[in-house]
Amino acid sequence: MKPLNNVRKITHLMTMNPGGPLAQAFVLEAVHRYAEAILAAGRPEDNPRAIICPTAWFDTGRAIASQLDHWSGIPPATLEGKL
């Protein structure tokens, strides 16, 4: 079997899961929390999770977190301590 690329892996996690539609929410929440963790680390160069260029990793996290915040329509501060 041919290895899955990253897009297909995420699609598989979101669609071929016993959790059904709940899996989609879980995957999006996981991505959102990871993006927020990258931003919370502060300065890009201080982030030990940056696997390539720290600034690019930080900027990507900011863009993803911003897009997910926009789609959810719920300000992140509203969810603090509730998830």
> What letter would DSSP give residue 16?
S
Separation between Cα atoms, residue 37 and residue 56, nearest integer Å: 15
| Cβ atoms of residues 36 and 72 within 8 Å | no
Looking at residue 83, what is its pLDDT?
42
80 phi/psi in degrees, rounded to 5: -55, 125
| pTM of full prediction above 0.75 | no
> pLDDT tens-digit profile of 23-81?
988 888 999 998 888 888 777 777 776 677 888 888 888 888 888 888 877 655 554 55
> What letter would DSSP give residue 41?
T
